Structure 1
Amino acid sequence: MSEARTIPSFLRGRSELGVCALLLAVGVLVLTDALTMDTVASVRGPVGPRTVPLVVGGALLLVAVLLAVDVLRGGRGEAEGGEDVDLTEPGDWRTVALLAGVFLAFAALIEPLGFPLAGALLFWGSAYALGSRQHALTRDPLIAAGLSLVTYVVFDTLLGVPLPGGPLMEVI
């Protein structure tokens, strides 16, 4: 028997169609959410809370269709030509796993710890996962805490986007 997984000849060499399907799915999801969104009665001006999601969802659908047409007509994406990328090397799955773990931990900890603490862990863990080792226990946590606090204040106070403060904000 030949290969267990055979690719139909029509799809061979057209992996970009997978990107088209992903863009199409995300576009439909964004448009569905925008159209079923409860609107706020006190909207001022012509631009409401649905405007940006409708534009983004429509743009995603348009790009998905245009990319699919281009691929089906024989268009191909260029291979990576980055000067600092060695295409023969395998992916760094350890870094990907560390980053995924940091993001999942952030999602799990944002409610009980609040954004300032969970955000600091997110920024510090991301820096560590991406290779910061020299000052990992001194400089990086301080920068992460400062960045997280500034982000919290900007979003919660200046922009009016409520973020969970957690126990740290109850003390302050």
Structure 2
Amino acid sequence: MTTRTETPPTTTAERRSWLREHSELGVCVLLLALGVLVLTDALTMDVDIAQRGPVGPKTVPIVVGIGLLVIAALLAVDVLRGGHGQAETGEDIDLSEPADWRTVALLAGVFLGSAVLIEPLGFPAAGALLFWGAAYALGSRRIDRDPLIAAVLSLLTYVVFNNLLGVPLPGGPLMGAL
């Protein structure tokens, strides 16, 4: 059994070529940093409640942090042994087309606008604007039905979270009047 050993790159061009061939190592670094962050946060968490049983509030973040570190290490080993991810082969995506930055900007604006308006207007109104704005940004131009669907979706979401799940959402002036 023979093992393949690579000589370290010496020139700048060789280093660039090596980095280009092993670009997945950037994902490994990201996963490593995220794992360290999650573990550090979990281990320094100040928990005031008494733990009832073997699983406490630190357990899941510690498991997730360790999992991220293990995945980062396994991916790094795979990449250094010559493994590569498969290229994107989207069936309905033309990768030669440029990104649609107008849609991205519209969606970001709608999202930020609803985040700003949720406190003064309440979730039902801000959510309706969010749903309607997202539908518009993604290409729907049905102004006869989109606002109605957005309002119903927003009210249903508000009722489910506020009344059924017990997650309080700001009702705003419209819900205060009801």
Scaled by the length of structure 1, the TM-score of the pair is 0.77
- Give, as a single letter, the amino acid of the residue that structure 2 aligns with 1:169: M
1:145 aligns with 2:151: yes
Q: Secondary structure at the match of 1:138?
A: coil
What is the SS of the residue equivalent to 1:12? Answer: helix
User: Looking at CA atoms only, which structure, 1 or 2, has the larger radius of gyration?
Assistant: 2
* Aligned positions of 1:17-96 closer than 5 A: 17-39=25-47, 41=49, 46-96=54-104
3-state SS, counterpart of residue 8 of structure 1: helix
Q: Distance in 1 between matches of 2:45 and 2:166?
A: 20
Q: 1:4-15 maps to which residues of 2 (within 5 A)?
A: 8-15=16-23
Q: Helix, strand or coil for the counterpart of 2:104?
A: helix
Q: For structure 2, which runs of at least 5 residues remain unmatched after alignment?
A: 1-14
Q: Aligned partners of 1:69, 1:58: CA distance in 2, in Å?
A: 17
Out of 123, 130, 137, the residue aligned to residue 131 of structure 2 is: 123
Query: Following superposition, which runs of at least 4 residues in structure 1 exceed 6 angstroms of deviation?
Result: none
Q: Aligned equivalents of 1:163 and 1:54: distance in 2?
A: 30
**Residues 54-84 of structure 1 deviation map (CA, whole Å, 9 limit, x = unaligned):** 4333333333332222222221111111221
Give the Cα–Cα distance (whole angstroms) in 2 for the partners of residues 45 and 168 of structure 1: 44
Structure 1 CA distance, aligned partners of 2:164 and 2:36?
32
Q: Among the aligned pairs, what percent are the same residue?
A: 76
2-side partners of 1:34 and 1:163: how far apart?
28
RMSD: 2.5
Displacement after TM superposition at 1:160 (Å): 1.9
TM-score, structure 2 as length reference? 0.75
Give the paired residue count.
164
